[in-house]
Amino acid sequence: MSISGLPVLNDILLAHKRISPYIHHSPVMTSSGINEMLGAEFYFKCENLQKVGAFKFRGATNAVLSLTPEELRHGVGTHSSGNHAAALALAARNAGVPAYIVMPSTAPAIKKAAVASYGGIITYCEPTQAARESTMDRIQKETGCTFIHPYNRFEIIAGQGTAALELLDSCPQLDAVMAPVGGGGLLSGTAIAAKSINPDISVWAGEPANADDAFRSMQFGSIQPALPSNTIADGLLTSLGTLTYEAIRSHVDCIMLCPESFILEAMKLIWERMKIIIEPSSAVPLGALMANPGLGWKGKKIGIILSGGNCKLELA
């Protein structure tokens, strides 16, 4: 563990060894059509094909497998709008313990159904951070479960970093690697892994323009709260945590904002050209590049982590 409380490369390597028997080693896919249209060479790490349909299974599995028998005895719990909830429910089921999940009542129906299908014990709350946290506190006191934060936890960040580890193992020639940012767990792990393997690589993030708290946090030099937002990228609505803020401040070169129209355009482009389903949050990095053609990415080799594929098909 690093002095700052953040994982280092060796922690990510250990996490990868720990979770490898349980995860999908998702493919890296390319599209000559997208490359020609946008003027760069893209390598898409398809975490939309990960178990539970999202990268979150990596971090959740690492967190559960890192707990002591005493910490696991009463199960685990979390609050999440969907993907982390489903990931923790499945990781807990694999470990033979219950998962207590607090979800906002407004979470997409497909994500509610997924959590239930993996055996998660769901309690619904109002769609605010305060309601999530207070409801989780109550359930934790009632059950004695161990709380697994969706992103602001050492083991979660280390687990999420394993996606970038695999991407760079497959594509060591990359000039830049990119991920979406909400709470920052994926981006933090990606940035730590990428910069540790290749200090010269650029690490970029895509964030919805309608939910730009990470962008504002980097501008102001302190964590800025997530404000109410109507973005289609429902997985990116949370504020940065203390750990993820430090990781992003230290290791991420640029956060690019993506308007809603470009989220939809990028999502449809990947659907149509690559014949794979991604959710809106996954489309934000490519959409952010499309919305910011003057930021110096043309002609580069860019790895993009497609974070998930749990999408309401009527969005198309």
Domain 9-54+153-315 maps to which CATH number in 3.40.50.800, 3.40.50.300, 3.30.310.160, 3.40.50.1100? Answer: 3.40.50.1100
Q: Encode pLDDT of 11-38 as tens digits.
A: 999 999 999 999 999 999 999 999 999 9
Q: Encode pLDDT of 171-204 as tens digits.
A: 999 999 999 999 999 999 999 999 999 999 999 9
Catalytic residues: 56, 81
**In the predicted model, what is the mean pLDDT of residues 121-145?**
93
**pLDDT tier at 81 (50, 70, 90 boundaries)?**
confident
Rounded Cα distance between 266 and 311, Å, is: 14
Domain 57-147 maps to which CATH number in 1.10.1060.10, 1.10.3720.10, 3.90.1150.10, 3.40.50.1100? Answer: 3.40.50.1100
Rounded Cα distance between 117 and 217, Å, is: 36
**pLDDT tier at 316 (50, 70, 90 boundaries)?**
very low
**What pLDDT is attached to residue 314?**
61
> What pTM did the predictor assign?
0.94
Domain ranges for the chain: 9-54+153-315, 57-147
DSSP string, 279-298: -HHHHHHHHHHHH-TTSS-T
Rounded Cα distance between 160 and 87, Å, is: 12
Sheet holding 99-104, edge to edge: 121-125, 99-104, 76-79, 146-147
Residue 224, pLDDT > 80, answer yes
Rounded Cα distance between 51 and 24, Å, is: 6
